[in-house]
Structure 1
């Protein structure tokens, strides 16, 4: 019985070794491809907003790109274009025109497409969209058509937060922007125990609205200036690094007091 088991074991071993020798090692042997490495949420839209920072005149949105294929010891290049017919964003106004090609460094499988975007004043009232699409290049194909388009939304529009009515008075996007500038707070809680702190922030804005000239003088670290109009008694309020984003400060001739003007042309109070 032991001899039978021994011989059966030898036969099984020979069959196993024979089958292993016949199996060929599978390798990835397709041409190199690239695609946008986005999450499912990002694939619906990559959203960028300037709303929380008036100091920025320009910024960069990095759209992740990933290699499908072998890495190489030499750098390679990929291409991308903006689909003009499917985009409302305008080159030169909302974004810098794309380069003819972008590098993928040697021995790497990941890169990012740097999309340079501009803080255009029209973004305060309307968002714009653009579709960025990868293109074939001498080094890369674009095999998976579903993964080569990125839908980008650019905005600078603020929306009324849920806590606003609890701590503040009438809402406007301009007033919201001034609140962010003065307090550096994006959110306030709705907990009654936080009333002293939240009312303190609300009061900081009230003080600034009552005397914007004094606020500019006493907060040079903020970087905001008031420039007098050459045509009348009005002023332009803006950050020194981004003079294109202006909030108007107008004289109320009846009261002799200056008020910021909101997006509806009404006084901010």
Structure 2
């Protein structure tokens, strides 16, 4: 039993040291990183609104640092070598300084994306946290932010297995377009999943769509009538 305890402690300490290895070598105790993991992407689609010419994607950054009573500058750069998007064509970086306000621990990099009529499919823009006078890059897994820019409709992450079985039902691009057009909502990410919508509001939107379909039977892409799984 004592041997097992020692092995568990060694594994735990090893995991802790791996997490800290990414931050070694910095004398600073102030770090900043993207809130999302580098492997995750934010998708912006112009397919939701055919009249839309531009939009804003707010990439959230968080700091690992004590709060201070002054503004602090951070530095994020665009990585052209890892991107298929073109600066000045598909998006624009903010012109103002990148700042975390005094006594705050969160910042947003507001990237302006632009409709490119020549775009076929999707393009990727990759950004990376760089060192500044006030911050060093945080853990390696969160140093990059990714934006997919597309003219096509893409299935949102919130339309998951739960929605298939209990919410909006089976997904199709046509059904999603119809939902957006009639209900006027594109994002139903729940608060528990990092979004801004509570369950009651989400349920109300789903049932509103269900009742609309009952009054306006609509064919889906496969020729069947659109259905909503939620009871009510």
Task: Report the TM-score, using the length of structure 2 for normalisation.
Answer: 0.56
* Distance apart, 1:164 and its partner CA: 5.1
Tell me which residue corresponds to 2:201.
none
* Candidates 105, 112, 118, aligned match of 1:116: 112
Q: How does 1:65-76 map to 2 (within 5 A)?
A: 65-76=61-72
Q: What are the ranges of 5 or more consecutive residues in structure 2 without an aligned counterpart?
A: 1-26, 156-170, 186-205, 220-232
* Candidates 74, 86, 89, aligned match of 2:85: 89
* Distance apart, 1:100 and its partner CA: 7.3
- Partners of 1:163 and 1:76 lie apart in 2 by 43
- Cα distance change on mapping 1:131 and 1:43 into 2, 3 Å: same
- Partners of 1:194 and 1:65 lie apart in 2 by 40
The answer to whether the aligner puts 1:57 opposite 2:53 as a matched pair is yes
Tell me which residue corresponds to 2:34.
36
Per-residue Cα deviation, 1:187-217 (whole angstroms, up to 9, x for no partner): 999x8x94651349xxxxxxxxxxxxxxxxx
Tell me which residue corresponds to 2:217.
198
* Distance apart, 1:70 and its partner CA: 1.0
- Partners of 1:153 and 1:136 lie apart in 2 by 25
Tell me which residue corresponds to 1:162.
172
Per-residue Cα deviation, 1:37-96 (whole angstroms, up to 9, x for no partner): 12x5x8421111111112221111011111111111110111111101111111111101
- Cα distance change on mapping 1:198 and 1:186 into 2, 3 Å: farther
Aligned length: 157
Q: What are the ranges of 5 or more consecutive residues in structure 1 without an aligned counterpart?
A: 1-28, 166-175, 201-269
* Distance apart, 1:99 and its partner CA: 3.8
Report if aligned partners of 1:180, 1:186 keep a CA contact under 8 Å in 2.
yes
Report if aligned partners of 2:32, 2:64 keep a CA contact under 8 Å in 1.
yes
The answer to whether the aligner puts 1:80 opposite 2:76 as a matched pair is yes
* Distance apart, 1:184 and its partner CA: 4.0
The answer to whether the aligner puts 1:46 opposite 2:42 as a matched pair is yes
Tell me which residue corresponds to 2:137.
142
- What CA RMSD, in Å, does the superposition of the two structures yield over aligned residues? 3.7
Task: Report the TM-score, using the length of structure 1 for normalisation.
Answer: 0.49
Structure that is richer in strand per residue: 1
Per-residue Cα deviation, 1:154-190 (whole angstroms, up to 9, x for no partner): 112136963859xxxxxxxxxx98x799x5468999x
